[in-house]
Amino acid sequence: MKSYPIFAVAAFMFAVQGASGQTFGLPADYFVEGWVTSGLSQPTTIAFIGDDTALVFEKASGIVRRVENGVVTNVAIDLPVNASSERGGLGICISPNFAVDNHVFLYYSHAATQGGAWTGNRVERFVYNPGPGTLTFDQLIINFAMDPTQANGANHDGGIIMIGPDDKLYIITGDLNRGRFSNPRIEQNTGTVSAAGVGGIHRLNLDGTIPSDNPFFAHPDNSIKTYWAYGIRNAFGMTYDPLTNFIWFTENGPLVYDEVNVVPTAGMNSGWLKIMGPDGRNAAYGENGNTAYNANQLTMLAGSYYRDPEFSYLSTIAPTSILVMATDKVRPEEMNEMLVADNNTGSIYMYEMNPARDGFVLSGLVADKVADSSAERNLNRIGSSWGVTTDMKIGPDGYIYVVSLTGNRINRIRPTLEHLGPNTLDVRRGNVQSGGLASFQNSDNQRFVITPGVTLSSSQDPIEIDLTTTSPFAIPASIEIRVEGHASATAIRQRILIEKDDLTFEQLSSANMMTIDDTVVVTINTNTADYIRNDGTIRVRLSYRQTGPVLAFPWQTRIDQVQWNIQR
């Protein structure tokens, strides 16, 4: 298994208090900063609606707050909720066509008035109004209603919602304490006839209709038709892997065996109420009558299958949010690995994905996919003292945003070393033969090719281009610039210059190019702020001229990549 740095954050008080006076630990490769540090109360989930703008749902108040550049600007909507126990404002996501339809989906525990009697957990669709930054009700999508014939527990509400890779709405619900042996239900594997209506992952079209390709669409009970997976006790985390489209979720156990699960194909039965943890562990606990059940004793709907969890915790930690780190703002060896947070210990864990991405790379004491002790659990812990993490999302900037229910804040995990490509391209002189701004982003042989242009004096180079990026730090420790490319002849000089804050250019490098790709690296370690504009822009100029005879004219410069490596 890989070893990871620790994202350490000073402990939050479990009671919902302010975070003033808190400090953050700074690991070697990452640092943690507060993005929203005031104006929130018990935030649960976040959805980005723009580069620097997000909507944040609050649990107890039922308020969705609009945040811009880390500052709470206004109330987008104030919904009446019952916030008893695990109820309240629980889930938010936006339409895949948000830029066109402005649709926002919310999952919440509805009440007629704020704090009034619970009527059901609803998913509703709203329209975002960009001008005032508010939400307007549009449509009820689904209502998991109060049912006088069943339990309606204030806990086990689930509530995470997301739009999947198929542009369908996925909703995870807990069991609301339904389906016990005294009142058996299909979803809790205690009956074969009646449905609980909750206790799984539901899949709907964005208008609330049921997709005909749902695994149980042929079932006569409409509530069963909505399921993508069932047999789930309760969950505070759900995501999908963009590399495989597999759905992953966390599941809270009773006194034993919390789980991290994957749904590689439709129709999974996670085993609750009879099984928690691996089937072979034969877990016995009060809610299954202290009986060791086997998978062949579950209620298997036509087209369903049982699957053991990919990881379990013998001693419960109440895992919460889950995230695939599909971002280049982490170390390359950690890209696309899995993060899992918890409620009970305030920790964050990282798991290395196996090649098939349907499980984890585990060895030694956890090769059996179970953490039997805190020592085994902590083998994958990378962060401590985070409070109750209720959501983790990758923002439009690629950073990881961590929502803290108990800290009343949203933190951002950032790397101390940023690898940046250019944001803008300005061809000052020269004739572009192929390529554009995207050509500079990666070392992939997709080159920007340019030939000499017209000069007005001998002091001008016939090829001159400007590239800019934005520094993530006001005063970085160092700025490294890497330029990869080659010329069609060896008698072509490349100069690398950088703009200073007085708008003059300082030459960093001057040398003839090779005829095969070569990388020139220049580094600035002192007075770095002199090269950063007030808006964070760093401008580099690449300049080329012929210094001797060439066999073919016009000669060419072929640039493959320009990269800034900026150290905090």
Burial of 325 (0-12, 13-18, 19+ CB in 10 A): buried
261-297, pLDDT tens digit by residue? 999 999 999 999 999 999 999 999 999 999 999 999 9
Mean pLDDT of the chain: 94
475-509, pLDDT tens digit by residue? 999 999 999 999 999 999 999 999 998 899 999 99
Per-residue pLDDT at 531: 97
Per-residue pLDDT at 102: 98
300-357, pLDDT tens digit by residue? 999 999 999 999 999 999 999 999 999 999 988 999 999 999 999 999 999 999 999 9
Q: For residue 98, report the phi and psi dihedrals to the nearest 5 degrees.
A: -55, -40
Q: Which amino acid is it at 387?
A: G
- pLDDT confidence tier of residue 21, bands split at 50, 70 and 90: very low
Q: Which amino acid is it at 216?
A: F
pTM of the model: 0.92
What integer is the mean pLDDT of 45-55? 97
DSSP letter string, 73-103: EEEEEE--B--STT-SEEEEEE-TTHHHH-E
- pLDDT confidence tier of residue 5, bands split at 50, 70 and 90: low
Per-residue pLDDT at 99: 97
Strand ranges across the sheet with 348-351? 7-8, 381-384, 348-351, 338-342, 319-324
204-227 in b/e form (b: 16+ CB < 10 A) is: bebebebeeebbbeebeeebbbbb
CB-CB contact of 198 with 107 (8 Å): no
Give the residue, 30 or 262, on which the prediction is more confident.
262
How many other CB atoms sit within 10 Å of the CB of residue 286? 8
Domains detected in the chain: 7-415 (2.120.10.30), 419-567 (2.60.120.260)
197-248, pLDDT tens digit by residue? 999 999 999 999 999 999 999 999 999 999 999 999 999 999 999 999 999 9
What integer is the mean pLDDT of 385-401? 96
415-447, pLDDT tens digit by residue? 999 999 999 999 999 999 999 999 999 999 999
Per-residue pLDDT at 163: 98
135-186, pLDDT tens digit by residue? 999 999 999 999 999 999 999 999 999 999 999 999 999 999 999 999 999 9
Burial of 117 (0-12, 13-18, 19+ CB in 10 A): exposed
Per-residue pLDDT at 9: 45
Per-residue pLDDT at 28: 73
How many other CB atoms sit within 10 Å of the CB of residue 283? 24
Per-residue pLDDT at 22: 25
CB-CB contact of 463 with 430 (8 Å): yes
